[in-house]
Amino acid sequence: MWERLRSVWTIPDLRNKILFTIAMLLLSRVLAHITVPLTPDEQTKLLQLFQTNSNGGLGQLLGLLDVFSGGSLKTFSIVPFGVYPYITATIVMQLLQSVIPALQNLSTQGEAGRLRFSQITRIITVPLAFLQALGQAAVFQRAGVLTNFSLVDPQYALESWSIVLAIMAGTMMLVWLGELITEKGIGNGISLIIFAGIVAGLPTALQNEYVALTSSGNGAAIVSAGVFLIIGLITIVSIVYIYLGQRRVPVQYPTKRTVGRGMLVGSAQTTYIPMQVNSAGMIPIIFAQSMLLFPSVISQYLTTSSVTWLKNVALWVSTYVVNTTQWWYWAAFFVLVVLFTYFYAYVLWQQQDIPENLRKQGAFIPGYRPGEPTSRYLTSILQRITLAGALFLGIVAILPTLSGNQLLGSVSLLIVVGVVMDTVRQLEAQMVMRNYSGFLS
């Protein structure tokens, strides 16, 4: 292993890529430590807001979003959402691609189409970042964190607009750094920035966990630590297993070769279609969180309404519907994750249009005719393997509640495992391309 690491470091251009990636990640963490100026009283209220049982569970919902920013939302830095608006814009563009022919045509235009698609995604990110910054500032104002926030009051307008525009600029700066990493570094830049935020908050989380376990002063702490390590190990192994799990469907491509004096002999080349168990990744969890966060934020807006019935409805929603301390909230979270996993898997499947591509290439699955029979067969396989992936994602999504430990959060583990495996794969590809024996071999 150490010999492989040394061989990676001895390649000048690969070493420069790694150093560039590290430098950009460090710069992203510098941005995360530039905070919005708050008074001591506002800082205290900000910490209280993120307590698990405060504000009808709103603190825990914000804590889930805080994962994507690496703790920047809890400190209210100029990048409180990380690259979350860009992720949302990417998801929206992928969904619109299946219903807008113009966007679908971009995928057939090669590199030029991909660049145009990325440009539109970045443009959509700007208004999404503005709306999210405005909404988050309004939530903080309702909670007493921001006491002088108003975009229309001349007395506070300059300060308020400065906060919103700084958050927008910070988000786009992170998106720019992520694209630089993808272009000139190693790995997917957006995923690595999220990964860096999670890793940056890991020492503090482990320290808090250690203090909580040792505060009891008896043998229960050792038992709790052992259970935590076992559950964590099983979860990581399961994520890797599902992440790599695939159903390989055999496919035959007809080929012809010349034998003797121009005689053509038909033959068939056999390959396979790798159908992933979890083709949707962590996107269903993001969808489910957004769906549950939206009514919570709206109810926070309306709890101070002057209309009595509207205020009562908002209090009922925040207390009974989107309260993270109630079991039905997590049951709804589980169901939404399962439904969104199926939904996004089918969206990706329709975009790929594998049965039609096989028919155009003259390929076929043994025992099934091209066209509709092949489509029905592949769809039935997709339904079965997606069920396993959807149930797994749903269980991992509610794992913090089942285990009582936030360190075993679904999104953080999925991101860490997925990013590490993708980065190692890219290093392996870089080594093989340079005629080395490979990073893992």
Please check the confidence at residue 57 and state whether its pLDDT lies above 60. no
Please check the confidence at residue 214 and state whether its pLDDT lies above 90. no
- Are 358 and 364 in contact by the 8 Å Cβ rule? The answer is yes
Confidence of residue 177 (pLDDT cuts 50, 70, 90): very high
Please check the confidence at residue 271 and state whether its pLDDT lies above 60. yes
Domains of the chain, residue spans: 1-211+412-441, 242-408
Nearest CA to 418 out of 388, 435, 393, 391 is that of 393
**Three-class SS state of 247:** strand
Question: What is the CB neighbour count within 10 angstroms for residue 47?
Answer: 13
Please check the confidence at residue 428 and state whether its pLDDT lies above 60. yes
**Over residues 420-431, mean pLDDT:** 78
**Over residues 44-72, mean pLDDT:** 66
Report the alpha-carbon distance of residue 173 to residue 50 in Å, rounded. Answer: 26
Torsional class of 260: left (φ above 0), alpha (ψ -120 to 50), beta (otherwise): left
Nearest CA to 196 out of 45, 350, 420 is that of 420
The pLDDT, as a whole number, for residue 346 is 84
**Three-class SS state of 365:** coil
**Over residues 251-271, mean pLDDT:** 63
Report the alpha-carbon distance of residue 395 to residue 335 in Å, rounded. Answer: 10
Hey, what CATH topology would domain 1-211+412-441 get? Preprotein translocase SecY subunit (1.10.3370)
**Over residues 197-220, mean pLDDT:** 68
Nearest CA to 51 out of 60, 40, 41, 42 is that of 60
- Are 146 and 136 in contact by the 8 Å Cβ rule? The answer is no
Please check the confidence at residue 103 and state whether its pLDDT lies above 70. yes
User: 60: Cβ–Cβ under 8 A, 6 or more apart, which residues?
Assistant: 52, 324
Confidence of residue 67 (pLDDT cuts 50, 70, 90): low
Please check the confidence at residue 267 and state whether its pLDDT lies above 70. no
**Over residues 329-351, mean pLDDT:** 84
The pLDDT, as a whole number, for residue 407 is 46
| Lowest mean pLDDT, pick from 16-30, 152-166, 286-300, 349-363 | 286-300
Task: Give 371-419 pLDDT, tens digit per residue.
Answer: 788 888 888 888 888 888 888 888 877 776 665 555 445 567 777 777 7
Report the alpha-carbon distance of residue 421 to residue 239 in Å, rounded. Answer: 11
Percentage above 70 pLDDT, the chain = 76
Of the ranges 116-125, 138-147, 307-316, 319-328, which is most confident? Answer: 116-125
- Bridge partners of residue 254, in order along the sequence: 268
Report the alpha-carbon distance of residue 67 to residue 425 in Å, rounded. Answer: 25
* Burial degree of 357 (CB within 10 A; 0-12, 13-18, 19+): exposed
- Are 121 and 93 in contact by the 8 Å Cβ rule? The answer is yes
**Over residues 323-348, mean pLDDT:** 82
Percentage above 90 pLDDT, the chain = 5
Tokens of 87: 């992720």
* Burial degree of 219 (CB within 10 A; 0-12, 13-18, 19+): exposed
The pLDDT, as a whole number, for residue 173 is 93
**Over residues 177-205, mean pLDDT:** 83
Which residue blocks in 33-109 are alpha helix, DSSP H? 40-49, 58-69, 72-75, 84-97, 101-106
The pLDDT, as a whole number, for residue 238 is 80
Report the alpha-carbon distance of residue 431 to residue 207 in Å, rounded. Answer: 37
CATH class of segment(s) 242-408: mainly alpha
Tokens of 118: 């990325």
Question: What are the angstrom distances between the C-alpha of 313 and each of 276, 296, 303, 326?
Answer: 43, 12, 8, 18
Confidence of residue 136 (pLDDT cuts 50, 70, 90): confident
User: 384: Cβ–Cβ under 8 A, 6 or more apart, which residues?
Assistant: none
Please check the confidence at residue 176 and state whether its pLDDT lies above 90. yes
Question: What are the angstrom distances between the C-alpha of 5 and each of 11, 212, 236, 261, 392?
Answer: 11, 37, 24, 53, 34
The pLDDT, as a whole number, for residue 109 is 74
**Over residues 269-278, mean pLDDT:** 82
| Lowest mean pLDDT, pick from 16-25, 161-170, 351-360 | 351-360
Please check the confidence at residue 142 and state whether its pLDDT lies above 90. no
Please check the confidence at residue 337 and state whether its pLDDT lies above 60. yes
The pLDDT, as a whole number, for residue 410 is 56
Q: Is the torsion defined by CA of 261, 266, 270, 271 positive or negative?
A: positive
